[in-house]
Structures are given as structure tokens and as C-alpha cells.
Chains A and B, each alone.
Chain A
Amino acid sequence: MPVKTVYETSIEHVSILDEHGKFDAKLGEGLIPDEDVVKLYEHMSVCRHYDEVAFKLQRSGRMGTYPQNMGQEAASLGAAYALQKDDWFVTCYRENAGLFWHGLPMEHVLLHWMGDERGNEIPEGCYCTPLAIPIGTQMLHAAGLAWAAKYNGENRIACTFFGDGATSEGDFHEAANFAANLDLPVVFVCQNNSWAISVPTKIQCSAPTVAQRGIAYGMPCVQVDGNDLFAMVKVIRDAAVRARDEKRPTFIEAVTYRLGDHTTADDARRYRDADEVEMWKKRDPLIRLRLFLDERKLWTTKKEEALQASAKEIVSAVVKRAEEIAEPTTNDIFDHTFAEIPPNLRVQRSTLRTHSLGQDPSPLRDTQAASAPTR
């Protein structure tokens, strides 16, 4: 029997604006109007400042834990810019820039990390899901949202984000298989930031690229410079068209780097080389975007000064709003467990404060039912 090749493939890497500010006009010209590039740069700068402030809030004891987004802003922002407002933006926790562009008020993410579930409340007309902290669960939800959109005959798509580490989870493989088999309008965006807490990508994936993991599921795959806003916009647009018009998923590996620690509970200096971090600092998405603006005479030092001042104002107002929200009440934990509070929770709600007083911890009847607050 002769041996023949039954399948061959290759993975493309897309880059438009490189770390030196070199711009591929053939691919990139007209992709984003200049005035939008300015807005995106401004947004990204505000998000960077937000990230720094959030870090300080945690360090000063005003926030529980915080995962810095620094250095990864372009991936989610490029996606949010390329998507429609009513597309689903299904994230984990390093997509602040994209979430805010997509419409989530900035104080929500602070509120979330301050430990208030109300930070996950999504305003009307904003199509995001609560930040997914267990690794990988949101990809299945994205597949379900896309499935529901298709079921309802709506021309919306779901774009979901996850890290390189999450591609080792069964959830990723099941979501990818489903999306491809059921022809779902999903865009899978893996932010390959080199590290899953302290575990390097090579331990997650022995293949030369994470992108090729999508091939096994029969979906188009592409690798992109995730720190290149232009390239992100291009690959997301291509994938969105494929999702919207052909109901086919796409897998995108956005190569980026986590410039900060995994979270404020981590110290990355313990496990990675300073040289590596220094190299990636030069590839910062903000730096190259600024080079682009300078090259096109779209920016000045004065504008930069004004932007930095305004970023401070914006972020400090956001922090103020987040901190001014009254603490959640104990009723919330009982009232938001079921759509309608069941009898046993009614009892627990009304006796929560009497336990320590030595009273019957759990009467059969809710003796305070009449006065108990209801939603």
C-alpha cells in the first residue's frame, strides 16, 4: 500500500504594526480611520492607568486581588473595536480594555475585584458576561450564547477570550468541537501571554503554535501579533464575517505577554527572567501605537500631557464611584441564590443575626416572615 499525505496545513502569522512602528500599508491602510486610531490610543492609555491604579488599590488594602492587564490591552481592544455592539463579549479577566470599549462601565471591574458581585451586573444594551475566574468555563458559555443567537435567528456572534493555559482544559476542546460541529458563530481568541501563572506555554502545548489546536476541530486558525492593534482588528473582522455570514467558528492565537504578575497574589520574578520581561516591554502595544501616531503627525507631546491628566481624572472618578457604592447587604446573598427565595433560605435570612444570640438557629417557620425584606 502506498503512503500518501491525506492532509496538509499551515498556520499564518499576521502582523501589521510591528514593535518598531513599521506599518504594513498593504494590509493595514484604511483598516482603522486615523481619528479612531487616536481614540483607541487614548482608551488604551486610560486603561493602562486604570490598571496601575487598581494595582495600587490592592496594595493599599482597598481591593482583594487584582490581575493586571498591562501589556495585553491590544488583543481585547482590537476585538471590541472590530465587533458589533450587540455581539457577545465573553471574557475571563484580562480583557478590561475591550470590555470598557464594548460598553461595560469601568467601575464594574473594580467593584468585582473589591468583592462585590454587583460588579458583574451588566447594564442594559451591553453584551458581556460576568468575568469568568475558573479557567475555561466561559468558552462553553460563548458557544451556548452563539447557539442561542442562531436559534433565535439573530445575526449576532460570540467572541470569547481565554489564556494559553485554558487550551489545556477540557472545556476548550469541548467548546471548540461543539462550535465546529454545530456551525456556531463563535470567535475563539486565545491570549497567549506565555505564562499560566508560573507555568510556561511549552508545558501547556507541545505543538509549535497554540493556533494549530483549532485545526483538529476543523476550524480556520490564525496566529496574530496580539500586541498589534491593527492586526487584531483585521483577524477579528475576518473571523466575524465568517461567523456572521457562514456560521463558522475561528480560532485565533493572539501572541502577547503578561507584563505584570498573574495577580497581586503572585510574584513573577520568582520564575521568569528579567531579560524576557525587558524584551517584551519593548513590544508594548502602547509604544508602537504612539510611534504610529507620531509618524502620521496625529499626536503631540501636549496632547500626551493632556491625555495623562485626563486619564488620572477619569480613573479617579471611577475609583470614587466604585468606593462610594454602599456595601452589599446580607439580604443579597439569600435573595440572589434562587429566582424566588425558598422557605429554608427565608428562615436563614431572618435568623442570620440571631444565631450568635443563642436563639433557636433554625425554626421551622420564618417567624419574621412578615417583616422580612423582599426583593
Chain B
Amino acid sequence: MTRTIEFRDALREAMSEEMRRDQRVFLMGEEVAEYNGAYKVSRGMLDEFGPRRVIDTPISESGFAGLGIGAAMMGLRPIIEFMSWSFSLVAADPILNNAPKMLYMSGGQVGCPIVYRGNDGAGGQLGSTHSWCVEALYSNVPGVKIAIPHTPYDAKGLLKTAIRDEDPVFFLESERLLSVTGEVPEEEYTVPFGQAKIVRPGKDCTVVSFGRPVYFCLDAAEELAKEGIDCEVIDGRTIRPLDIDTIVASVKNTNYCVVVDQSWSFASPGSEIAAQVHQHCFDDLDNYVGRVHSDDVPAPYAQNLEQEMLPNARKITEAVRAVTYNA
């Protein structure tokens, strides 16, 4: 049986089910308990699990990010909520310098099974400092897994996988997607890491994305279909591990590729995917791999500028037209 629920409910179901299943799992972050979460993701969890397992913290990102590592080293399974991934920058030392290196630096002995999760990307007029897309920065670091769902179904399934994972997982949600609804089974399921999903099959051009921009890709594909360009849209679902196989198989079929990534272009998941596609599909490609990113400027505050700066359906449409010699 499936029902239609919001993205935020899918996240909460994943956490609550895992907390029921495993006493080692707990949720910690700013306002997650009494206030039900700044974005109501953890609504009702304090009532069900009590203050021992749903913990309000001081405004102290480095503090709870690091405390979670200690707890994970002792075998617990912390879920650490950043109200926004933009705020994780002050916790760079624990999340980048400790958690992903703990296993290696302990000679393979002590891993760090921890989930850091929260809102990533432009939330809508939050200004430059609160609109970070951290995936480019953080995916550069070995030892980290990064999941970035775009549907409630994937959000729930991937988050459950994240909580069960033995390694640190950065789980990137989007404030703009929290109210999006979608079908989610009532039955237990998980979505494995490293398996991209073809969300729209097509034969003319492969369009690869992850997270919120997948919706823009689907909009663009509809528009392009009217012009007779049939796009295959792939949602990577996790950036690390990256399912390059699915992407390569698609490009070998379509011979064209556009990568859509909401981070800045320089040294980003988009540039990595483009490089890998160039390498593995060199003889199959009929043009360079096109890329759509946020423009190389701080996220603007003004609504019209923000939308222009981010990837959007218009930019994607233009990129596909250009790459497929339809411009």
C-alpha cells in the first residue's frame, strides 16, 4: 500500500522507524525536540522517544557535530541535524577532519557511523550566507558518503540506508522540497547508495542531475519533447558513491550528455561527472558534455536574481539544444 506524504514526513518516518528498530539511534540538533524542528521535520518525535533520544542542543554546530563523533565511536548511531548545511561550515573540523578519517586514523579499527543531515541549497531568498550548496565542497573529501534525494520516496529510503551505514553520511535535503508530496509505501523499504535512477527514459540526450534540480530537468525535458528532443533524465541520488555505470550506459545510447548541478561549477560533482563521461564515453560522444551550474557568484538575495543564478529549466533547455546541435 502506498500513500501520498510530504518530503518532511518521509524524513521523519525514516528516522522514527530506525529509532524504533535500533536503540542506538538518536537525533540531536538545534530545536529538534521541543520545537519539533525548525522545519517540522522531527514533529512528534520528542513525544514518542523522549528527551534521552531527541535532544535539543545549544547553538553550537561544531559542538554537536563533534559530540556525535564521540558517541559514534562508542557504537551509537547519531543523527545530527544541521538546521541548514550553511551552518555546517563552522563545524568543518569535526565533519571533514575527524569523522571521515576516524576509520583510517584508527588503523581501520573505529569507524564513524553518523548521519549529518539538513537543508542544502538556496531555500528561497535566504541570502548568500544561508544558501550554500555544500555538495561541491564536501564531495571532495574521501571517507564521506553524500545522499541528495529529490522525491519523498527516495528521501525515506535513502535516509534509512544512511542511518544503517557504517560510514559518515552527509544527507542533503532541500528546504524547497520539504512540502513536496509523493507516493511512499507503508511497507518497509530502503534505497541503496550508489544506484542512480532513470526518472525519465529517452533516447536523444542524457541529462544527469541530483537533488532539487532534477525537477528542473524534468520540466526542461517536457519542453524539449515538444521540439522532438527526447531526454533521458537520470537522478544520481547519491553523489558519493557515484553510480557512473548508469550514466555511462545511458550516454553510450544517446551520445549526448548534459550535467545539471546546483553547486558552483569549479571542482564540483558536475565537473567530476563530466570528466568521467568524457573519459569513458570518448568514442560515443557526438559533442562535449554540457554543464549547467549556479553562476559563479554569491547567491543573491533578490528573488528574481536568485532564480536566474541557480540552474533552471530555461538554462537546461538551452544547454541541451546547444549540445545536440539544435541551438
The chain A residues found within 8 Å of chain B, CB to CB, are 90, 116-122, 129-130, 134, 137, 139-149, 151-152, 158, 170-171, 174-175, 177-178, 181-182, 332-333, 335-340, 342-344, 362, 364, 375
* Residues A141 and B66 in contact in the complex (CB < 8 Å), given A117-B107, A149-B74, A151-B76: yes
* Residues A118 and B107 in contact in the complex (CB < 8 Å), given A140-B94, A177-B63: yes
Tell whether, in the assembled complex, residue A141 and residue B70 are in contact, meaning their CB atoms are under 8 Å apart. Answer: yes
Q: Residues of B contacting A120 with CB < 8 Å? A: 105-107, 109
Query: Of the 9-residue stretches B39-47, B174-182, B238-246, which lies at the interface with chain A?
Result: B238-246
Question: B166 interface residue, CB < 8 Å from A?
Answer: yes
Partner of B143, one of A137, A152, A337: A337
* Residues A336 and B103 in contact in the complex (CB < 8 Å), given A140-B69, A144-B69, A145-B73: yes
Tell whether, in the assembled complex, residue B279 and residue A117 are in contact, meaning their CB atoms are under 8 Å apart. Answer: no
Question: B194 interface residue, CB < 8 Å from A?
Answer: yes
Q: Residues of A contacting B109 with CB < 8 Å? A: 120-122
Q: Residue on A with the closest CB to B57?
A: A178
Tell whether, in the assembled complex, residue A134 and residue B93 are in contact, meaning their CB atoms are under 8 Å apart. Answer: yes
Tell whether, in the assembled complex, residue A121 and residue B62 are in contact, meaning their CB atoms are under 8 Å apart. Answer: no
Q: Residues of B contacting A375 with CB < 8 Å? A: 108
Docked complex Cα distance between A118 and B103 (Å): 11
Partner of A117, one of B52, B68, B104: B104
* Residue among A148, A158, A182, A375 with the highest chain B CB neighbour number at 10 A: A148
* Residues A140 and B76 in contact in the complex (CB < 8 Å), given A117-B104, A338-B167: no
Tell whether, in the assembled complex, residue A178 and residue B74 are in contact, meaning their CB atoms are under 8 Å apart. Answer: no
Q: Residues of A contacting B70 with CB < 8 Å? A: 90, 140-148, 158
Docked complex Cα distance between A347 and B67 (Å): 34
Sample of 15 further A-B pairs with CB below 8 A, known A134-B97, A140-B70, A144-B66: A120-B107, A137-B66, A140-B63, A140-B67, A140-B69, A141-B73, A145-B71, A170-B62, A174-B66, A175-B67, A333-B104, A338-B103, A338-B143, A338-B167, A342-B241
Tell whether, in the assembled complex, residue A171 and residue B104 are in contact, meaning their CB atoms are under 8 Å apart. Answer: no
* Residues A130 and B106 in contact in the complex (CB < 8 Å), given A144-B70, A340-B166, A344-B241: yes
Tell whether, in the assembled complex, residue B104 and residue A337 are in contact, meaning their CB atoms are under 8 Å apart. Answer: yes
Docked complex Cα distance between A343 and B145 (Å): 13
Partner of A362, one of B52, B108, B240, B279: B279
Question: B64 interface residue, CB < 8 Å from A?
Answer: yes
Q: Which 10 A-B pairs have the closest CB atoms?
A: A144-B70, A140-B66, A174-B63, A339-B166, A141-B70, A148-B74, A121-B107, A118-B107, A336-B108, A144-B67
Tell whether, in the assembled complex, residue A151 and residue B97 are in contact, meaning their CB atoms are under 8 Å apart. Answer: no
Q: Residue on A with the closest CB to B93?
A: A137
* Residue among A147, A158, A171, A177 with the highest chain B CB neighbour number at 10 A: A147
Docked complex Cα distance between A171 and B92 (Å): 11
Partner of A144, one of B60, B73, B279: B73
CB distance from B103 to the nearest CB of A (A): 5
Q: Residues of B contacting A118 with CB < 8 Å? A: 107
CB distance from B265 to the nearest CB of A (A): 21
CB distance from A153 to the nearest CB of B (A): 10
CB distance from A334 to the nearest CB of B (A): 10
* Residue among A120, A144, A145 with the highest chain B CB neighbour number at 10 A: A144
Residues of A contacting B: mostly = helix
Q: Residues of B contacting A90 with CB < 8 Å? A: 70
Q: Residues of B contacting A158 with CB < 8 Å? A: 70
Docked complex Cα distance between A117 and B102 (Å): 10
Q: Residue on B with the closest CB to A141?
A: B70
Contact sample, A vs B, 12 pairs, CB 8 Å cutoff: A117-B105, A117-B107, A122-B106, A122-B110, A140-B62, A144-B71, A151-B52, A151-B76, A178-B64, A182-B55, A336-B104, A336-B107
Docked complex Cα distance between A130 and B110 (Å): 9
* Residues A137 and B71 in contact in the complex (CB < 8 Å), given A122-B106, A174-B63, A174-B66: no
CB distance from A148 to the nearest CB of B (A): 4
Question: B142 interface residue, CB < 8 Å from A?
Answer: yes
Docked complex Cα distance between A152 and B24 (Å): 9
Question: B14 interface residue, CB < 8 Å from A?
Answer: no
Question: B253 interface residue, CB < 8 Å from A?
Answer: no
Q: Residues of B contacting A149 with CB < 8 Å? A: 74
CB distance from B90 to the nearest CB of A (A): 8
Q: Residues of B contacting A116 with CB < 8 Å? A: 107
Docked complex Cα distance between A121 and B167 (Å): 18
Q: Residue on B with the closest CB to A118?
A: B107
Partner of A137, one of B26, B94, B167, B244: B94
Q: Residue on B with the closest CB to A140?
A: B66
Tell whether, in the assembled complex, residue A151 and residue B241 are in contact, meaning their CB atoms are under 8 Å apart. Answer: no
Q: Residues of A contacting B321 with CB < 8 Å? A: none
Question: Interface 1/0s, chain B 20-40, versus A by CB < 8 A?
Answer: 000000100000000000000
Question: B72 interface residue, CB < 8 Å from A?
Answer: yes
Q: Residues of B contacting A332 with CB < 8 Å? A: 107-108
Docked complex Cα distance between A146 and B108 (Å): 23
Partner of A364, one of B73, B105, B111, B244: B244
Q: Residues of A contacting B78 with CB < 8 Å? A: 144
CB distance from B271 to the nearest CB of A (A): 15
Q: Residues of A contacting B113 with CB < 8 Å? A: 339
Question: B228 interface residue, CB < 8 Å from A?
Answer: no
Docked complex Cα distance between A177 and B60 (Å): 9
Question: B98 interface residue, CB < 8 Å from A?
Answer: yes
Q: Residues of A contacting B110 with CB < 8 Å? A: 122, 130
Docked complex Cα distance between A143 and B102 (Å): 16
Docked complex Cα distance between A116 and B105 (Å): 9
Question: B75 interface residue, CB < 8 Å from A?
Answer: yes
CB distance from B21 to the nearest CB of A (A): 17
Q: Which of B146-167 contact A (CB under 8 A)?
A: 165-167
Q: Residues of A contacting B76 with CB < 8 Å? A: 148, 151-152
Q: Which of B76-117 contact A (CB under 8 A)?
A: 76, 78, 90, 93-94, 97-98, 100, 102-111, 113
* Residue among A149, A337, A375 with the highest chain B CB neighbour number at 10 A: A337
CB distance from A138 to the nearest CB of B (A): 9
Tell whether, in the assembled complex, residue A137 and residue B97 are in contact, meaning their CB atoms are under 8 Å apart. Answer: yes
Q: Which of B167-201 contact A (CB under 8 A)?
A: 167, 194
